[in-house]
Amino acid sequence: MTIIIQEDSFSISKLILELSEKDNVGAVVSFSGYVREFSKDKQLKYMELEYYPGMTEKTLESIVQKAKSHWDIEQITIIHRVGKLLPKDIIVGVIVSSRHRSSAFKACEFIIDFLKTDAPFWKKEISDKGEVWVAERQEDIIKKTNWNKLD
C-alpha cells in the first residue's frame, strides 16, 4: 500500500506502470480525478485543497484495509494533491492491481467512494463569483451507503 499526499502534480501513467510491473498482476484499474473548469454557473479560477495531516493518512489506510478484506488485491496506490490547483489539474489518483480484473474494478470504486466522504480533505473554489467552500454532495453519500450491503 502506498499513500501519498503532496502539492506537486503527478503522472498517473507512471504509477500505473509501476504497479503493472510487479509480480502476480493480471489487472490494473485506475481512477484519476481532475479539477473542472466550470462548476454550476461559475467559471473556476483555481481551487485550494486542505487536509488534516495524520488523520487523512490514517483514514486512507483504514479504507485500504477494508478494501483488502473484501477483495483479492495485490497493490494499492492512493495519491491526493493539496494546495493550489488550477482548472484541468489532476487532483487524485487511485490505482489498484490484482490477479483478475473484477477485484481491481470493485476495490478501486470502493476506495474512491469512501475517500470522497471519509478522508478529511476540503476544497475551496475561487471563481469569477467569489470564494466558496465546496459543500458535500448527496450523490457521494449515497454512493458510499450503497457499499453497506458488503458488510
Binds another protein by CB under 8 A, chosen from 38, 43, 69, 122: 122
Stretch that binds another protein, among 9-17, 20-28, 37-45, 109-117 (CB under 8 A): 109-117
123: contact with another protein by CB under 8 A:
yes
Strand 42-51, strand 130-133: pairing:
unpaired
Q: Position of cell 492491481?
A: 97
110: contact with another protein by CB under 8 A:
no
117: contact with another protein by CB under 8 A:
yes
End-to-end CA distance of the chain: 22
133: contact with another protein by CB under 8 A:
yes
For residue 100, which of 75, 76, 72 has the smallest C-alpha distance? 72
34: contact with another protein by CB under 8 A:
no
Report the C-alpha gap between 32 and 115 in whole angstroms.
13
134: contact with another protein by CB under 8 A:
yes
